[in-house]
Structure 1
């Protein structure tokens, strides 16, 4: 097992220990969840969810308004219209009004931590949990169904026209009907923490595993369209952009493939492990390494600009038309914001009440 695996799994093991300790309240031991939507950034970390002004990092509100020792956040928030959805490690999933930070509802029916980011579609919110279950809730917070896997779920479900696609650390990728029935399951070479990616026509699902395999699956039946073997394990989500497929591995390589055939078009040496995956920009792609090297690349993999931040990074960057942001741990600050075009750093902050 390589160092990035040890670091991240160690944080989760440490989190388990902290939450079970006989202390007045849980101590922070994990990585922040960050999302950017419009003129707001949302940071889930420790006892609070913070709403920040995207142009300055100023805190607009915190949730809950008064810190509670029973609440601890690390999952990446999901922003849908006027609401923020996020789970905590006290087995509670929250819907919050993004304008003021007030609670809309909470769901308390899970048996484990919420670490993965939720997703929304078909009139429901799909919340993955460390108890191995995917919880489907209606928009009023009522449980509609539960889908069970055999291990932790750290990935975000992918929503298709007629199905939900889910990867699990039990080594399987699942297709689930919108009423919660298994349509098919495909075993991978290793545990899967990467979120799957759906092709534009919804006919193909792309995903990689810790076993270094990256596959394209037919969404109709889960049959293998093609497979590719990376040099190292794959933790982060791939992206489709410019008619190409991009993903990175823990050995510090960026792979550029033909999404139709799986043929390798190019391989770029990044030089450091990439854990959190990639994001697509209108005119390029972005990634950040575990050690905080933020890079914006052209579609051919050449570097447009890069910046070094302080700390370790385990989540992919988030972007808007104006900003590119990164969440880090064990550094000078927690959140770093850059001009997406020039790479100039705009601000950095560790949110506080």
Structure 2
């Protein structure tokens, strides 16, 4: 199987879906889904709506907007803020960046932010009372918590598909322009850009003194705050999803379907676990298990030593990382009969969510 070719074809299809929305002729819902959750609800970005789903039974609580708008399309993982907002932007021909009330789905801001020139495919980063929102136009827009522009946007370059991360001082953002960009919030500039040798469609993960990032160069790099960097691991195929750091162990996967565990203290590989198909999405790591979703539509649970515990056929294709809330593992498949499905830690299905027409 040529996994690079398959994923490239998938990207072309997804790109075509974005372009098809430009015609305004129909509601487009056939796209990868964004996913977030709190203790009560899952929030799913799917096509022309964002849905809140009751975690107890899988029932719809609300949808935004109430009526489908062919100019809107939602891909990014919604972001819940400490002050009770749900942030997300549209990737359609109309691309407002909005704040919703998680309980009701009503808009919080008097006006949505509309100065972004491209699509909102990335989730924003919230630091204290400031929102950093990356756009595919290559800019990071800086807003206050009321949706007003707080500072001039920062030009990074390349299409920005992934959420920035922060170490508390600097902001790190990966780009499809093959670079990891380091932003100094104090000066509002992108001071350092590191060439990764390949596109980086997913977020880095914060480490002590820097970040780890994977890319289409089939490498994991450790990048320090001062811009120094080194390759710490190589794979046989592209790394699409974000790595996960748990203590001194880094977990990541590649498009060959291999899941890796790396000891960051000495750089040695703990283990690798081969899956039956490409792994595009990031991993979910819990206290006892590692959850993997494959492009072919399977949810796999591994133990912390890489051993297989169980595998479930979800259906469709899985491009979004699973999310945990309480006892539930949430998975949002693309091109499936349902938009969201919940499993328990033993792999028993709790419910599925299919939006009403």
Question: Taking structure 1 as the reference length, what is the TM-score of the superposition?
Answer: 0.94
Cα drift, residue 250 of structure 1:
0.4
C-alpha distance in structure 1 between counterparts of 2:126 and 2:291, whole Å: 24
Correspondence 1:132 to 2:133: no
Equivalent position of 2:349 in the other structure: 345
CA deviations on 1:160-204 (whole Å, 9 max, x unpaired) are 2111110000000011112421232111020011210002x4x13
Q: Residue 46 of structure 2 contacts residue 73 of structure 2 at CA under 8 Å; is this kept in 1?
A: yes
Matched, 1:151 2:155: no
Which 10-residue stretch deviates more, 209-218 or 3-12? 3-12
Equivalent-residue separation in structure 1 for 2:313 and 2:245 (angstroms): 25
State whether structure 2 residue 28 is matched by structure 1 residue 27.
Answer: yes
* CA apart distance, 1:242: 5.0
Partner secondary structure for residue 271 of structure 1: coil
SS in 2 for 1:18: helix
In structure 1, the partner of 2:41 is 40
Where does structure 2 lack aligned partners over 5 or more consecutive residues? none
Mark the runs of 5 or more structure 1 residues left unpaired by the alignment.
Answer: none
Q: How do 1:243-254 residues align onto structure 2 when only pairs under 5 Å count? A: 243-254=248-259
Please give the alpha-carbon distance, in whole angstroms, between the structure 2 residues aligned to 1:27 and 1:224: 41
User: Displacement, 1:48?
Assistant: 1.1
Tell me what 1:65 maps to: 66
* Alpha-carbon offset, residue 304 of structure 1: 2.4
Measure, in 1, the Cα distance between the counterparts of 2:121 and 2:165. 16
- Structure 1 pair 47–114 and aligned structure 2 pair: CA distance change class (3 A): same
How many residue pairs end up in the alignment? 348
Aligned pairs for 1:25-174 within 5 A:
25-81=26-82, 82-89=84-91, 90-105=94-109, 106-143=112-149, 144-174=151-181
| 2:339 aligned partner | 334
In 1, Cα distance between equivalents of 2:242 and 2:158: 19
Compared with structure 1, are the counterparts of its residues 126 and 8 closer, same or farther at alpha carbon in structure 2 (3 Å cutoff)?
Answer: farther
Mapped partners of 1:35, 1:133: distance in 2: 24
Asked whether the 8 Å contact 2:72–2:95 carries over to 1, the reply is: no
Alpha-carbon distance between aligned partners in 2 of 1:310 and 1:29, rounded to the nearest angstrom: 14
> Greater shift after overlay, 74-83 or 184-193?
74-83
Cα contact 2:196–2:217 (8 A) shared by 1: yes
- Contact 2:45/2:51 (CA < 8 Å) preserved in 1? yes
Q: Distance in 1 between matches of 2:38 and 2:195?
A: 35
1:223-234 matched pairs, under 5 angstroms: 223-234=228-239
Does structure 1 retain, via aligned residues, the 8 Å contact 2:21–2:71? no
The TM-score normalised by the length of structure 2 is 0.93
